[in-house]
Chains A and B, each alone.
Chain A
Amino acid sequence: MPRKLFVFLSLALVVASMLTACATPAAPATEVAKPTEKPGANPEPTVLPSEPVTIEWWHIQTVDPGLTKWQEYADAYMGLHPNVTINITVLENQAFKDKLTTVMQSGNPPDIFQSWGGGTMKAYTEAGMTLDITPDLDADGGAWRNTFAPGALAVYSKDGKNYGVPWDMGMVGVWYNKDLFAQAGISEAPTTWTAFLEDAAKLKAAGIVPIALGEKDSWTGMHIWAYLAIRLAGQAGLEAAISRTGAFTDAPFVQAGYKLQELIATDPFQPGYLGDNHDAMQGHFGNGECAMEISGQWAPTVQAAQSADKKGVPNLGIFAFPAVEGGAGDVTDVMGGGNGFAIGKDAPPEAVDFVKFLTTAEKQAELAGLGLLIPTVKGGEAGLTDPNMVAVQAMFANAKYFAQYLDQALTPAMGDVINAGVQDIFTGVKTPEELAQAIEDIAQTEL
């Protein structure tokens, strides 16, 4: 090849790569500036009928019935409002989280997206990525607001303002194998911590592992500590610690660690539980190897799916986490969480209207009947048929206080510290005082 041509070609190549290379670093710089635009500058919810509007909706219902039903609802809404186009993006849970994090960092959230509320939603809100929909909830004397269970709605609020709404809500309780309880001669589910420990001892004496746990996923054990803390501190105590008028080093939180140690000392878990993850825990319970597990509303389906025969425990029941003697909390107080829709900062009024359309009692009842959700809207429970789900719904509807999972309610960093710290109680690395101190230390910088 003639050398001149060769040089020219390489020069062209270099210039081309320089151009693309320059474009790459320039992009983040311009994007960084965007999020500072004022969030929530959307005062009038009045719908303009003729303007064509596009709504971006990201959800994680990758399987039926949710996948088809939600497409049907979107089609129905578009039929009623010909000017609206709803673009649905369906993503698998983890893929959704990764992709959402990316668009959040670039300042381009979807108009409607799956959310679990709590700390992560608060982080997005602080970055100005979400839209304040409180005016929509309060319009017409709070017509929309009053349809929701207040505890569930509060999970999607920050400083009294809502940035999303719940469409499904569940809670953690103690799931138990009625046959194994009978085998150990236990006739009634325990209601106090003392009775709970006694029953665990009876099960152990009968050669049954009392509790399944998957502490490799540290949040499974966190549920036990968090419930103990809620029972001991009560709503007032927990909220004081979170709002910083109290502290996580207050007596009830330290006491929760001691109660947990008390339980651990009786060796009630399956061997190797520190190396087992959540799926393994559900499997041990589903196979009938363990009599109890502290788990959420997903337990009936997941323990069946993880069991050897895919059927799970034939005689399944749930009881409330036992009351701790002398604790300030009520035995009806529950800890849980669920699924919701969060609204992106640039969402058109139609997006909020569509979410309203999605969360009517009628649709909630229909989806509840299909086993997709536990309703958060009054009247939706009419569709519930599964007795376990009815029990869960009744428990959280009766709750005086609904606390969100501690690791999700607070910031991601606090969640990690709590989960890891509780694991340290199980491994004996931390004392209850050290756990309380670690949580208090992170609370001081994060809250």
Chain B
Amino acid sequence: MDGAVTRESPLKNGFSSLLTQKLQNNLTILLFLLPAFIFFFVFQVYPILESVYYSLFNWTGFGPATKFIGLNNYQQILADEVFHKALGNALLLIFLSLAIQLPLALALAIMVGRDLPGRAVYRTIFFMPYVVSEVITGIMWLNLFNADPSKGLINAVLTLIPGAQAQAWLGDTRLVFPCLFVVLTWKWFGLHMLLLLAGLQGIPVEVEEAARIDGANTGQLIWNITIPMLRNAIQTTAYLSVLGSIQQFILVWVMTQGGPSSASEMLATYLYRFSFKRFWLGYGSAVALVMLVIALTFSIAYNHFVRTPEYLTNE
């Protein structure tokens, strides 16, 4: 890269000789980085700083923020039962994603990554849900979960079983979260499967062959060779799962709006409800920052302790 930029300099004149080669290089790098930096600051850093400012006010979003209330919003958030519920749901979703969704994606990736007949077809089918827009997914599952057996497929099938009764899936405070988890898994496992598939392709065939020759059966092969060598891919999917769980919004909002009685409240639906239904934009800003702190803390800790980026280890 460096060579490409500096190698040829057809028009040597006084101007370029004023600058040393190194300074010129750095300047070029800086110039190329500047647009990205500017966008980053305008659309990321500046809004975050705005949020910090507004989070200190009791502000409806109309007119200038005048009612300064210090850290009151944060106190209120941390004391709010519904926020606790939302946080609990996010943690539960993280746990379930890691405990159920990831192993499922891994199992499917190993299956369709091998010589399964018609594996290209399976890959396409499994990846399809990820391609469908989240709103469409939500509406589709809303219909499937319809409590009325004459309209909802799931209840229609359920009522065919003798003794089984139609359930108010999304209207039941105990069932709504498991139902949403099913939908989220259906929606996202394809992406994780794809990431793991990519990882699988990086495992040299020789290693597996060598293990086979040493007498390893399939179970041992997967446990001792495949999974350890998929370490990077698994770490990436886990990372995405956790961040996705913290930010989950569209599917939940379309399907339940966090209800009934906050049983499916997520951090982002909580943020939306307070900002745009209650018009407490100051409070909403504070919620956004709490979410940012949670996500950032996790992100930094994870990158520091678990996932050493390849570009650093390769040096």
Give A contacts to B, CB under 8 Å: 2-4, 7, 10-11, 13-14, 17-18, 21, 24-25, 32-33, 35-36, 101, 104-105, 107, 123-124, 126-129, 215-216, 218, 270-276, 280, 411-413, 416, 420, 423-424, 426-427, 429-430
B172 and A274 form a contact (CB under 8 A): yes
The interface on chain B, measured as residues whose beta carbon lies within 8 A of the other chain's beta carbons, has a size of 46
Indicate if B311 sits at the interface (CB-CB under 8 A): no
Q: Which 9 A-B pairs have the closest CB atoms?
A: A272-B147, A275-B171, A274-B171, A127-B62, A272-B168, A413-B278, A35-B63, A127-B63, A427-B261
Name the distance in Å between A18's Cβ and chain B's nearest Cβ. Answer: 6
Report the bound CA distance from A36 to B62 in whole Å.
Answer: 11
B38 and A21 form a contact (CB under 8 A): yes
Q: Contacts A273-B171, A275-B260 given: A36-B273 contact, CB under 8 Å?
A: no
Having A7-B28, A420-B261, one finds 13 other A-B pairs with CB under 8 Å, namely A3-B10, A14-B38, A17-B34, A17-B39, A35-B62, A216-B259, A271-B166, A273-B171, A275-B260, A413-B278, A416-B273, A424-B261, A427-B173
Point out the residue from A36, A128, A271 that lies within 8 Å of B168, measured CB to CB.
A271
Residue of B nearest to A4 (CB): B11
A412 and B279 form a contact (CB under 8 A): yes
Report the bound CA distance from A411 to B280 in whole Å.
Answer: 11
Report the bound CA distance from A11 to B46 in whole Å.
Answer: 23
Indicate if B70 sits at the interface (CB-CB under 8 A): no
Indicate if B305 sits at the interface (CB-CB under 8 A): no
- Of the listed residues A10, A32, A107, A275, the one surrounded by the most CB atoms of chain B closer than 10 A to its CB is A275
Q: Contacts A24-B42, A123-B279, A416-B277 given: A275-B170 contact, CB under 8 Å?
A: yes
0/1 interface trace, chain B 1-33, chain A, CB 8 Å (1 if under): 000010011110001100000000000100110
Q: Which residues of chain A are near B38, meaning CB under 8 Å? A: 14, 17-18, 21
Q: Contacts A10-B32, A127-B62, A218-B259 given: A2-B171 contact, CB under 8 Å?
A: no
Indicate if B226 sits at the interface (CB-CB under 8 A): no
0/1 interface trace, chain B 57-69, chain A, CB 8 Å (1 if under): 0001111100000
Report the bound CA distance from A33 to B66 in whole Å.
Answer: 12
Q: Which residues of chain A are near B62, meaning CB under 8 Å? A: 35, 104-105, 123-124, 126-127, 129
Q: Which of B146-174 contact A (CB under 8 A)?
A: 146-148, 166-173
A13 and B28 form a contact (CB under 8 A): no
Q: Which of B162-208 contact A (CB under 8 A)?
A: 166-173
Indicate if B35 sits at the interface (CB-CB under 8 A): yes
Q: Contacts A33-B64, A35-B62, A128-B63 given: A423-B261 contact, CB under 8 Å?
A: yes
Name the distance in Å between A328's Cβ and chain B's nearest Cβ. Answer: 30
Name the distance in Å between B56's Cβ and chain A's nearest Cβ. Answer: 16
Q: Which residues of chain A are near B28, meaning CB under 8 Å? A: 7, 10
Q: Which residues of chain B are near A3, meaning CB under 8 Å? A: 5, 8-11
B42 and A275 form a contact (CB under 8 A): no
Q: Which of B52-110 contact A (CB under 8 A)?
A: 60-64
B172 and A32 form a contact (CB under 8 A): no
B279 and A426 form a contact (CB under 8 A): no
Q: Can you give 30 contacting A-B residue pairs, CB < 8 Å?
A: A4-B15, A7-B28, A10-B32, A13-B35, A18-B38, A21-B38, A21-B41, A24-B42, A35-B64, A101-B61, A123-B279, A215-B171, A216-B257, A216-B259, A271-B147, A271-B168, A272-B146, A272-B167, A272-B168, A274-B172, A276-B147, A412-B277, A412-B279, A413-B279, A413-B280, A420-B262, A424-B261, A426-B261, A429-B261, A430-B261
